[in-house]
């Protein structure tokens, strides 16, 4: 995950000096979008049933994947 210090944000302020917008390097913006997409997938899948590591390994062995 990207920290605020790594983002190198620049701020746009109004006439009172209050921050109203943020300008980010496109690469940092894309990283943030990827993080958001990952979090959305996790949220969508949180209610899916789980299996133990042992069950997963056994299933992969049955399918000759490991």
pLDDT in tens, 16-62: 999 999 999 999 999 999 999 999 999 999 999 999 999 999 999 99
pLDDT computed for residue 4 by the predictor: 84
Q: CA 41 to CA 8: how far, in whole Å?
A: 27
Q: CA 27 to CA 3: how far, in whole Å?
A: 14
Give residue 5's pLDDT band: very low, low, confident or very high (50, 70, 90): confident
Q: Residue 1: is its pLDDT beyond 80? A: no
Between 7 and 55, the higher pLDDT residue: 55
Q: Of 6, 7, 3, give the one whose Cα is nearest residue 24.
A: 7
- The CB-based long-range contact list for 61-65 (8 Å cut-off, 24+ gap) reads none
């Amino acid at each position: 995950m990207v920290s605020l210090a790594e983002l190198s944000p620049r701020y746009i302020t109004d006439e009172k000096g209050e921050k109203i917008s943020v300008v980010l390097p496109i690469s940092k913006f894309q990283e943030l979008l990827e993080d958001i997409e990952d979090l959305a997938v996790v949220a969508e899948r949180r209610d899916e049933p789980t299996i133990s590591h042992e069950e997963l390994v056994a299933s992969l062995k049955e399918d000759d994947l490991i």
